[in-house]
Amino acid sequence: MTDIASQIAKLQAENEALKAKLAAKSTIKFKVSEKGAVSVYGLGRFPVTLYRSQWERLLANTVGLKAFIEAHSDQLTSKDD
């Protein structure tokens, strides 16, 4: 009976570790690249890296980006994490 209990405890620990790994993977993180750009991790397989001026231009156009997404929503797909 203790063998089963120890196996259950081991599986529960592995389950918690996998949950923590998944939560960390789905978290969006920001880093400064070696060349001084901002890299965003957690959106997909590869980071999205832009220089400061590029991020500022993109952020200044959030209204336009949202309008574009809304206008083309029938053509766009969504990737659920």
| pLDDT for the residue 1 | 60
| pLDDT for the residue 20 | 84
Please say whether the dihedral angle defined by the alpha carbons of residues 22, 23, 27 and 32, taken in this order, is positive or negative: negative
Q: Which residues of the chain have pLDDT under 50?
A: none
Q: What is the pTM of this model?
A: 0.64
| pLDDT for the residue 61 | 97
| pLDDT for the residue 19 | 86
| pLDDT for the residue 9 | 92
| pLDDT for the residue 26 | 72
